[in-house]
Amino acid sequence: MVQKIGGFGINKIHKLDCLEGMRKLPDKSVDLAFIDPPYNVGKDYGIYKDNLSDRDYIELMKNVINEFRRITKRGFGIYLDWKQFQRYWQLVPEAEPIIIFKRSSGVIYSPLKIVQHHHVILTTAKSLKSQCRSLWDDIRVMGEGYLFNEKRFGHPAQTSLKATKRFIQNFSEEDEVVLDCFAGCGTTAIACKEIGRNFIGFELNPEYIKTANKRLTQDTLNIYNPPPTNSKGRTAEIIK
Residue 228 lies in a domain: no
Residue 84 lies in a domain: yes
Distance CA 182, CA 23 (A): 15
Range(s) of the domain holding residue 204: 11-216
pLDDT score of 22: 98
- Under a CB-based contact definition with an 8 Å cutoff, are residues 48 and 42 in contact? no
Residue 5 lies in a domain: no
pLDDT score of 52: 87
Residue 221 lies in a domain: no
CB proximity list for 208: less than 8 A, separation 6 or greater? 45, 46, 155, 183, 184, 185, 186
pLDDT score of 183: 93
CB proximity list for 112: less than 8 A, separation 6 or greater? none
Residue 230 lies in a domain: no
- Under a CB-based contact definition with an 8 Å cutoff, are residues 196 and 175 in contact? yes
pLDDT score of 145: 57
Residue 118 lies in a domain: yes
Distance CA 100, CA 80 (A): 10
Residue 75 lies in a domain: yes
pLDDT score of 154: 59
Domains identified in the chain, total number = 1
Residue 18 lies in a domain: yes
Residue 190 sits in a domain whose CATH number is 3.40.50.150
Ranges of the chain whose pLDDT falls below 50: 219-240
Q: Write down the pTM of the prediction.
A: 0.83
